[in-house]
Amino acid sequence: MKQKIIKVSAPATVSNVGPGFDIMGFAINTSVEEMILRLTDNPGIKIKKITGDKNKLPLDITKNTATVALTHMISKLNSKIGVELEIKKKMISGSGLGSSAASAVAAPFALNELLGKPFTKYELMEFALLGEEIASGCIHADNVAPCLFGGFILIRGYNPTDIIQLASPKKLVCTILHPQFEVKTAEARKLIKKQLPLKDVITQTGNAAGLITGILKSDYSLIKRSLNDLIAEPARATLIPGFYEIKNAALSNGSIGCSISGSGPAIFAFSTSFKDGIKIGKAMKKVSSKFVKENIVYVSRINTVGPKVIG
Quick one: pLDDT at residue 1?
Answer: 39
Kindly report the CATH number assigned to the domain that includes residue 222: 3.30.70.890
Do both 134 and 49 map to the same domain? yes
Do both 156 and 25 map to the same domain? yes
CA distance 126 to 141: 9
Kindly report the CATH number assigned to the domain that includes residue 63: 3.30.230.10
Do both 161 and 60 map to the same domain? yes
Do both 135 and 221 map to the same domain? no
Total domains in the chain come to 2
Do both 155 and 178 map to the same domain? no
Do both 146 and 18 map to the same domain? yes
Q: Is residue 5 within 8 Å of 301, Cβ to Cβ? A: no
Do both 185 and 156 map to the same domain? no
Question: What range does the domain containing 91 cover?
Answer: 5-166+304-309
CA distance 232 to 287: 22
∠ CA 267-269-271, rounded to 5°: 165
The strand pair at 295-301 and 173-179 is best described as antiparallel
Catalytic residue numbers read 132, 185
pLDDT per residue as tens, the chain (311 positions): 367 999 999 999 999 999 999 999 999 999 999 999 999 999 999 999 999 988 889 899 999 999 999 999 999 998 889 999 999 999 988 899 999 999 999 999 999 999 999 999 999 999 999 999 887 777 889 999 999 999 999 999 988 899 999 999 999 999 999 999 988 877 888 888 889 999 999 999 999 999 999 999 999 999 999 999 999 999 999 999 999 999 999 999 999 999 999 999 999 999 999 999 999 999 999 999 999 999 999 999 999 999 999 98
